[in-house]
């Protein structure tokens, strides 16, 4: 029988969810083959009395803003008991070589591709706030320090004086007042570090002075397992896409990074995304809500022929 295709219809469907209530101890994922970029499974957390987003984020080892974006309309401080909270623990690998450490700034995640193993570790991170942006760069892990001493830069001390009217200490020893936490990994010979923190609320947010912040448990894992000279790539990919089997196309959209003093750009669908989606131009506007309010979760885009 001869089949005529009159038009293509774009269908946006969420991927199936893995519902789970167990505690996530390690963000370790099996790598897919080279033709796929999808890792992990979405999960749901049923809110019980006393739950709040920061606690839930730490339990599942995801970022605070990632949890917030995936659950619009849910109060992050007093979520209603019984509400099902979506955990963004499924993602597409960034479009980059699978080696070393990759930090994708818009999604506030750090990927570490284990050498000689078909696995990747994924951790939430805090990055530089507006005006003190974390730089996009290619570097490597330089010196690793346990119980690092914090010596704020002259710029940091001047900024502190302007904001508080008093001098900042030139040196802070290891301990509860040290913003570097217990471990630090320097990027090459630069002043930028991947380090722990004494303020857990800043993980998964734009809250630092440019360095990469991690939970103490996560930075300890990196400190113990990542050797010096490991390559580090800090990238800016707010849209990730992947062609999968059975004509399935996956897209993951994150909020773009704003810069201090730069006006917010008008929301437009990039040409690369239009080409990826394909089909009729009439279908492209269906993607606009995903760009206007990015949820940072993987969405399946499937072209379906109508007979």
Position 306 pLDDT exceeds 80: no
Q: What value does the mean pLDDT take over residues 6-26?
A: 37
Q: What are 29-45's pLDDT values in tens digits?
A: 999 999 999 999 999 99
Give the span between the Cα atoms of 162 and 179, in whole angstroms. 20
Three-state SS string across 26-75, please?
CCEEECCCCCCCEEECCEEEECCCCCCHHHHHHHHCCCHHHHHHHCCCCC
Of these residues, 8, 45, 164, 195, which one is catalytic?
A: 195
Who has greater pLDDT, 168 or 139? 139
Of these residues, 8, 45, 211, 233, which one is catalytic?
A: 211
Give the domain 97-236 fold.
L,D-transpeptidase catalytic domain-like (2.40.440)
Q: What are 222-237's pLDDT values in tens digits?
A: 999 999 999 999 999 9
Q: How many CB atoms lie within 10 A of CB 175?
A: 9
Position 49 pLDDT exceeds 90: yes
Buried b vs exposed e over 19-48: b needs ≥16 C-beta within 10 Å?
A: eeeeeeeebebebbeeebbbbbebbebebe
**DSSP code for 172:** B
Position 4 pLDDT exceeds 80: no
Helix ranges (DSSP H) in 142-192: 154-164
- Tokens encoding 218: 């996560």
Q: What value does the mean pLDDT take over residues 149-164?
A: 81
Give the span between the Cα atoms of 288 and 257, in whole angstroms. 18
**Is 233 marked active-site?**
no
Give me the pLDDT at residue 6, please: 32
- Tokens encoding 249: 């196309």
Who has greater pLDDT, 200 or 97? 97
Given CA atoms 8, 237, 42, 289 in this order, what sign does their dihedral have? negative
Contact 126, 202 (CB under 8 A): yes
Mean pLDDT computed over every residue of the chain: 85
- The model's pTM: 0.86
Q: How many residues does the chain have?
A: 307
Domain extents for the chain?
1-95+239-307, 97-236
Contact 115, 20 (CB under 8 A): no
**Is 164 marked active-site?**
no
Who has greater pLDDT, 247 or 45? 45
Give me the pLDDT at residue 144, please: 95
Position 158 pLDDT exceeds 70: yes
């Amino acid at each position: 029988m001869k089949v005529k295709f009159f038009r293509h219809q774009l269908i946006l469907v969420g991927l199936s969810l893995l519902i789970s209530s167990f505690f996530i101890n390690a963000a370790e994922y099996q790598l897919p083959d080279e033709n796929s970029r999808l890792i992990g499974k979405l999960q749901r957390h049923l809110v019980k009395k006393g739950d709040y987003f920061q606690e839930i984020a730490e339990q599942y080892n995801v970022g605070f803003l990632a949890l917030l974006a995936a659950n619009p309309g849910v109060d992050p401080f007093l979520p209603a008991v019984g509400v099902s909270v979506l955990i963004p623990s499924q993602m597409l690998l960034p479009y980059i070589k699978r080696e070393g450490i990759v930090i994708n700034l818009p999604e506030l995640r750090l990927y570490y591709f284990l050498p000689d193993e078909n696995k990747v570790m994924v951790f939430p991170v805090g990055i530089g706030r507006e005006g003190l942006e974390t730089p996009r760069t290619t570097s490597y892990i330089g010196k690793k320090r346990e119980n690092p001493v914090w010596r704020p830069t002259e710029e940091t001390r001047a900024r502190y004086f302007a904001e508080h009217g008093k001098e900042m200490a030139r040196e802070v020893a290891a301990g509860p007042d040290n913003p570097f936490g217990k471990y630090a990994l320097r990027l090459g010979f630069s002043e930028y570090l991947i380090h722990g923190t004494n303020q857990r609320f800043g993980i998964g947010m734009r809250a630092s002075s440019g360095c990469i912040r991690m939970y103490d448990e996560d930075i300890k894992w990196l400190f113990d397992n990542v050797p010096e000279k490991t390559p580090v790539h800090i990238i800016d990919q707010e849209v990730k896409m992947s062609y999968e089997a059975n004509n399935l196309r996956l897209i993951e959209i994150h909020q773009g990074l704003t810069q201090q003093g730069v006006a917010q750009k008008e929301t437009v669908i990039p040409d690369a995304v239009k080409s990826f989606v394909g089909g009729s131009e009439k279908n492209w506007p269906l993607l606009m809500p995903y760009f206007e309010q990015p949820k940072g979760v993987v969405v399946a885009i499937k072209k379906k022929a109508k007979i």
